[in-house]
Copies of this chain bind each other. A is one copy, B any other.
Amino acid sequence: MALIVQKFGGSSVADAARVMNVASIVTDTYRAGNDVVVVVSAQGDTTDDLIAKAEEINPKASRREMDMLLASGEQISIALLAMAIEKLGCPVCSLLGWQAGFSTNSTHGSARIKKVSAERIKMEIAKKNIVVVAGFQGLNKYDDITTLGRGGSDTSAVAIAAAMQADRCQIFTDVEGVYTADPRKVPNAKKLEDISYDEMLELATLGAQVLNNRSVEMAKKYNVQLEVLSSLVRKPGTIVKEVSSMEKMLVRGVTKDTNVARITIIGVQNDPGIAYKIFGKLAAKNINVDIILQSVGRDNTKDIVFTTTKAHAEECVEVLQGLDLLAGLKITCETDVAKVSVVGAGMESHPGVAAKMFEALFEADINIQMIATSEIKISVLIDAKDADKAVSAIHNAFIPVLN
**Smallest CB separation, A353 vs chain B (Å):** 51
Tell me, yes or no, whether A318 is within 8 Å of chain B by CB: no
Tell me, yes or no, whether A72 is within 8 Å of chain B by CB: yes
Knowing A65-B94, A120-B143, A143-B120 are in contact, say whether A58-B78 is a contact too (CB < 8 A).
Answer: no
The secondary-structure label for the interface of chain A is helix
Binary CB contact string for chain A from 118 to 157 against chain B (1 if under 8 A, 0 otherwise): 0010000000000000000000000111000000000000
> What residue of chain B has the Cβ atom nearest to residue A87's Cβ?
B58
A69–B20 Cα distance when bound, in Å, is: 16
Binary CB contact string for chain A from 96 to 125 against chain B (1 if under 8 A, 0 otherwise): 100100000000000000000000100000
Of B62, B76, B80, B99, the contact of A83 (CB 8 Å cutoff): B62
- The answer to whether A68 and B87 touch across the interface, beta carbons within 8 angstroms, is no
A355–B4 Cα distance when bound, in Å, is: 75
Q: Tell which of A49-57, A188-196, A308-316, A366-374 binds the partner.
A: A49-57
A82–B60 Cα distance when bound, in Å, is: 12
- The answer to whether A58 and B86 touch across the interface, beta carbons within 8 angstroms, is yes
**Smallest CB separation, A71 vs chain B (Å):** 7
Q: Count of chain A residues with Cβ under 8 Å from any Cβ of B? A: 38
- A residues 224-268 touching B (CB-CB < 8 Å): none
- The answer to whether B69 and A84 touch across the interface, beta carbons within 8 angstroms, is no
> What residue of chain B has the Cβ atom nearest to residue A43's Cβ?
B53
- The answer to whether B76 and A53 touch across the interface, beta carbons within 8 angstroms, is yes
Q: How many copies does the complex hold?
A: 2
- The answer to whether B99 and A19 touch across the interface, beta carbons within 8 angstroms, is no
Tell me, yes or no, whether A61 is within 8 Å of chain B by CB: yes
Binary CB contact string for chain A from 2 to 36 against chain B (1 if under 8 A, 0 otherwise): 00000000000000100110000000000000000
A185–B64 Cα distance when bound, in Å, is: 46
Residues of B within 8 A of A83 (CB): 54, 57-58, 61-62, 65, 69
Residues of B within 8 A of A78 (CB): 68
Of B62, B72, B84, B96, the contact of A58 (CB 8 Å cutoff): B84
Residues of B within 8 A of A282 (CB): none
Tell me, yes or no, whether A79 is within 8 Å of chain B by CB: yes
Q: Give residues in A with beta carbon < 8 Å to B.
A: 16, 19-20, 50, 53-54, 56-58, 60-62, 64-66, 68-69, 71-72, 75-76, 78-80, 82-84, 86-87, 92-94, 96, 99, 120, 143-145
User: Other CB < 8 Å A-B pairs besides A58-B83, A62-B83, A65-B92, 16 of them?
Assistant: A50-B76, A57-B80, A57-B83, A57-B84, A58-B86, A61-B87, A62-B86, A65-B83, A66-B79, A68-B96, A69-B76, A69-B80, A71-B75, A72-B72, A72-B76, A96-B145
